[in-house]
Amino acid sequence: MALASSLTQAPPLRRGRTGAIALWTVQVLLAGMFLMAGGLKLFGAPEMVALFNAVGIGQWFRYVTGSIEVSSAIALLVPSFAVFGALALVPTMVGAVATNLFIVGASPAIPMVLLLGSAVVVWARWQQLVDVLQKV
């Protein structure tokens, strides 16, 4: 029985000082990008209005996307919420990549980089998410 429980529980990820600095650097850079992008959406920058017109779902979706980006950016800067912010950004960026590829015909490079950064934060903070879910 002890062997089975030890196989299902992953050991906590140990990061050295360099790893912690690298993770925080990624989080701060992501937060800055998403605060800017989400803010442009929420404040109705003409290029964002045009982009969401091209998407064809409606401007309400611009507000939803901007709200997800801004709230997730703030969460990335709070240690206990960072994994949740990154987790919300992963499907948002999957949608952005798909939209750029299949709807607006733009380069998906920037959304891909943001998706990768968000996925790295989720992976690095995975144990934090597991710990929270085990308490529920």
Contact (CB, 8 A) for 39 and 68: no
SS3 14: coil
Q: Is the pLDDT of residue 3 over 90?
A: no
Q: Give pLDDT tens digits for 46-103.
A: 999 999 999 999 999 999 999 999 999 999 999 999 999 999 999 999 999 999 999 9
How far is residue 92 CA from its own chain's centroid?
A: 7
To the nearest whole percent, how much of the chain has pLDDT over 70?
89
pLDDT > 50? residue 6? no
Cα–Cα distances in angstroms (integers) from residue 69 to residues 56, 62, 86, 88, in the given order = 20, 10, 10, 8
* Residue 109 · residue 70 · CB < 8 Å: no
Residues sharing a CB contact under 8 Å with residue 39, sequence separation 6 or more, in sequence order = 66, 70
Average pLDDT, the chain: 91
6: three-class secondary structure by DSSP: helix
